[in-house]
Structure 1
Amino acid sequence: MTAPSHRRSLRTRRTVVASAAALAAGIGAATFVMNANADSVDLYHRTLAAKDGWASSGTGTTGGTKADSAHTFTVSTRAQLVKALGSASDTTPRIIKIKGTIDANTDDAGKKLTCANYASGTGYSLTSYLKAYDPSTYGTSKLPSGTQETARAAAQTKQAKNIAFKVPANTSIVGVPGTNAGISGGMLQIQNVDNVIVRNLSFAATEDCFPQWDPTDGDDGNWNSNYDSVTLRGATHVWADHNTFTDAPHLDSANPKYYGREYQIHDGALDITKGSDLVTVSRNQFTNHDKTMLIGSSDTDSTGKLRVSIHHNVWKGVIQRAPLARIGQIHIYNNYYDVTTLNGYAPQYSINSRAKAQVVAENNYWKLPSTAKAAKLLSGDGTGSVAGSGNLVNGAVTDLVAAYNAASSKDLKTTVNWTPTLTAGLESSAKSLPTSLGTTTGAGVLS
């Protein structure tokens, strides 16, 4: 199947010049110059096309396209964004245009806030926390509790109140072209609402000042952080398109170690959990990140939901979860995975299918360095499925499941219980993806 003619015509109307410096850094094509788009619908009123992935199912995804002038906002500060979002329970359609980069770690007057500001008045200090829960004295069999853990949680709550932006139903949040639009240090929380569009935004530096130590997590314990750049929890009909996700400027390689484990301040880039359903993730760039996309927060998250389409995205310098999928029906097609180590982010696997997930992965392209093996591109727990064909590794058709199963004791299943039908834009060959997606994905492309 070839790409629909409307996609080809869009390309002919665009002149795209990518920033070579940004591409070299693995941050994605962050700066673009584009001709005016001849579309009759402006960027802020665009809706998800018919049959474009799971989010087009049923009523489709239209976001705030019906917003009146009183509910159309242009914002450039944290305080303005909070006001424009209003109450999370207000379902009035709204369009929010983000102009420039909003720093979530600022107060209502625009003053910069630091971790010390959030900790102030709580009694928390990292030095005291490390002393209180040192495994050599506290042990490794239970989560921290007591004065310092209570203080840590209080400080984390203060930060969350400042940087978590709750998105109401029937909302479009779109970056204004040519302004480096995005959110730094914040989290869009799309929770228990329907019909949301997030487009043309850069999400960077989403950092938890107060990670929790969990000595029971894995063999050696782990530090766990609390904020995703975009988090879907019980959300339906969500379209995330042409966004860029990165840890920059603070990369994981700069994180210290405590108790012999990395002090991890980053969580997910775009997580889809708690029974979220009918989601399309298209033409984004995911780079310089570890736990990138989680679909399903547990092995019993929500049977019959977690239906997600992931297409035409670039994954570069991503360690894992691209995505990790549980339970749902997930269609992964026409994505480009560059699994070369970037800025210290050494990929472990791309797609993990577990907890009976039904994944169809087709016509994707993997760039694999000579030191890596195709058997490591997938992962699973022995209950998940991965079907599909046309996947290329360095240009050669490769049966990824066969490669994985030959090297694993927990085989991935090769059949699924559903057939994708919402496949507008599906390209029958992955050969051109490394080139075509380099200049058509991420924030800054749309006009």
Structure 2
Amino acid sequence: MNTYVCHARVTASLVGCTALVLALTGTTAAQAHTRDPGRQTLAAGDGWASEGAGTTGGSAATADRVYTVATWAEFRAALAVAGTAPRIIKVRGTVDPVAEGCAAFQAPGYDFAAYLEKYSPESWGLDTDLSGEPADSPEGLRAASAANQDKVIKANVPANTTIIGVGENAGIRGGSLQIKGVDNVIVRNLTIEAPLDCFPQWDPTDTATGAWNSEYDAVAVHGSTHVWIDHNTLTDGRYPDSTLPTYFGEVYQQHDGLLDVVRGANYVTASWNSFQDHDKTLLIGNSDSAAADDAGKLKVTLHHNLFDGIVERAPRVRFGQVDVYNNHFVVGEGQSYSYSFGVGISSQLYAEKNAFSLPDGISPAKTLKKWSEAPLTAQKNYVNGAPVDLIAVHNAEIPAETLQSGAGWTPTLRTKVDSPRAVPGIVDHRAGAGEIC
């Protein structure tokens, strides 16, 4: 079926946004019964989110439940309108809940210098965590400040909602979309700069040397079903990890995930997104002990996404049947890189016809990381333009983490699957925000 798509890079010389009728390879997408992308729905058979009744978001919204917003306050107000009847929220420009800076969230009396002085390893040691500290202690005041930020930057998304950016430059800067315990949500065409945790907590007992721990995912899918995340750009933006300071010999980590799918979430498709310049990127299943919530769920499809400058978790999987095909993974020269596919407890990862662009010195063996004993399928993937058996290479070079082949299932919910040789050209030019209008 034809899909109306706006290619910003291709049509930059055109005035406005022209609806191009294209029959694109696997263009995710949307049913072309309308030129309004806010009313487009996930195509039949397009990944796990098309299972059953599929994902329609707010496509059937009446005129009085279509909102155009230009500020964070307007955005949250549109989300808060009562009822679960379909709604469409169109974001114009960039909405920013942290425009006034971190100081706006500080509890009276909070002093970061005092925090560093009291909890330094030399003063506090590394054997006792900070739980139980009184409300007027540096940790208590940090927690109160963090609670202030939490109240402001999280946006709870109701059922039957489409959130879509208007044009090429719409986005959310420093906010966290909470898709929690609902059904039927679409998020498209937004540049989302990962939230910067203003008040990370020091945990002396985290590893042998302690660590800073942060909150807030850019998009959190928690216990929700039928969610389509499409044509977004998710990135650390102005605050890459390389710019973060170090305290107590550890990076002052202020980022969590870009997209997490956790706690019994199910039937999710993430397509044609650009994930950029981030460490712990995409987590599917957040705990080995969550079998009661997650077993038989966490069914997720990732296709035609660009992972560029990503250190790890692209994705890291527990429990779920996760279909990963036609994505492009780009590791830059000199970039920190740990792995792409993390194989966790009871996971059934099926990775097929993806493309990897790796620099000299990064072996294809590193693309896989074993956390728990769980078989996976990894076939017909290409590295630097040539076919590579990722499991065989991994097992030969990292025998201490031998992986078993055979995920035990075969994906059926796919649209057109492209040749892995063609994936870099296709994905690099069509993934991310600004590509639909």
TM-score (norm 2): 0.91
8 A Cα contact 2:204 2:210, kept in partner: yes
Determine helix, strand or coil for the equivalent of 2:256.
coil
Q: 1:358 aligns with which of 338, 348, 368?
A: 348
Determine helix, strand or coil for the equivalent of 1:385.
coil
Determine helix, strand or coil for the equivalent of 2:18.
coil
Determine helix, strand or coil for the equivalent of 1:113.
coil
Structure 1 letter corresponding to 2:127: S
User: 1:102 corresponds to which residue?
Assistant: 95
Distance 1:32 1:336 in 2: 31
Q: Please state if 1:348 is matched with 2:334.
A: no
Moved over 3 A (4+): 13-16, 31-34, 37-40
Q: 2:125 aligns with which of 132, 139, 144?
A: 139
Q: 1:56 aligns with which of 26, 50, 58?
A: 50
Distance 1:217 1:104 in 2: 30
Q: Report how far residue 341 of structure 1 moved.
A: 4.1
User: 1:417 corresponds to which residue?
Assistant: 408
Distance 2:316 2:354 in 1: 16
Q: Report how far residue 116 of structure 1 moved.
A: 1.4
8 A Cα contact 1:283 1:441, kept in partner: yes
Cα 1:15–1:230 shift into 2, 3 Å: closer
Determine helix, strand or coil for the equivalent of 2:329.
strand
Cα 1:34–1:162 shift into 2, 3 Å: same
User: 1:239 corresponds to which residue?
Assistant: 228
Structure 2 letter corresponding to 1:114: G
Structure 1: tracts of 5 or more residues without a match: 1-5, 21-30, 106-111
Structure 2 letter corresponding to 1:70: D
- Write out per-residue CA displacement over residues 274-332 of structure 1, whole angstroms, 9 at most, x where no aligned residue: 11111000000001111100110101321111110000000000111101111110000
Q: Please state if 1:81 is matched with 2:64.
A: no
8 A Cα contact 2:218 2:258, kept in partner: yes
Distance 2:6 2:272 in 1: 16
Describe how 1:187-198 pairs up with structure 2 within 5 A: 187-198=176-187
Distance 2:153 2:11 in 1: 29
Most deviating of 390-399 and 32-41: 32-41
User: 1:395 corresponds to which residue?
Assistant: 385
Distance 2:40 2:333 in 1: 36
Structure 2 letter corresponding to 1:71: R
Structure 2: tracts of 5 or more residues without a match: 22-31
Q: 2:307 aligns with which of 294, 310, 315?
A: 315
Distance 2:247 2:241 in 1: 14
Distance 1:380 1:74 in 2: 45
Distance 2:240 2:11 in 1: 21
Structure 2 letter corresponding to 1:67: A
Identity among equivalent positions (%) equals: 44
Q: Report how far residue 437 of structure 1 moved.
A: 1.1
8 A Cα contact 1:336 1:364, kept in partner: yes
Q: Please state if 1:158 is matched with 2:122.
A: no
Distance 1:32 1:131 in 2: 57
Cα 1:278–1:76 shift into 2, 3 Å: same
- Write out per-residue CA displacement over residues 356-407 of structure 1, whole angstroms, 9 at most, x where no aligned residue: 2100000000001111111111101241222031100011110111111223
- Write out per-residue CA displacement over residues 60-109 of structure 1, whole angstroms, 9 at most, x where no aligned residue: 1110112111111000101110110016x73221100001111121xxxx
Describe how 1:164-313 pairs up with structure 2 within 5 A: 164-178=154-168, 180-301=169-290, 302-313=294-305
Determine helix, strand or coil for the equivalent of 1:370.
coil
8 A Cα contact 2:319 2:344, kept in partner: yes
Determine helix, strand or coil for the equivalent of 1:388.
strand
8 A Cα contact 1:334 1:362, kept in partner: yes
User: 1:109 corresponds to which residue?
Assistant: none
Most deviating of 210-219 and 436-445: 210-219
User: 1:26 corresponds to which residue?
Assistant: none
Structure 2 letter corresponding to 1:98: V
Determine helix, strand or coil for the equivalent of 1:130.
helix
Q: Report how far residue 33 of structure 1 moved.
A: 7.2
Determine helix, strand or coil for the equivalent of 1:228.
coil
8 A Cα contact 2:48 2:301, kept in partner: yes
8 A Cα contact 1:17 1:34, kept in partner: no
8 A Cα contact 1:16 1:439, kept in partner: no
Distance 1:50 1:347 in 2: 36
Distance 1:235 1:50 in 2: 20
CA RMSD between the two structures: 2.0
Cα 1:97–1:335 shift into 2, 3 Å: same
8 A Cα contact 1:225 1:266, kept in partner: yes
TM-score (norm 1): 0.89
- Write out per-residue CA displacement over residues 384-433 of structure 1, whole angstroms, 9 at most, x where no aligned residue: 22203110001111011111122321222211222211011222x21111
Cα 1:377–1:68 shift into 2, 3 Å: same
What is the count of residue pairs matched by the alignment? Answer: 417
8 A Cα contact 1:326 1:353, kept in partner: yes
- Write out per-residue CA displacement over residues 192-242 of structure 1, whole angstroms, 9 at most, x where no aligned residue: 111100000000141000001122222322111101111111111100000
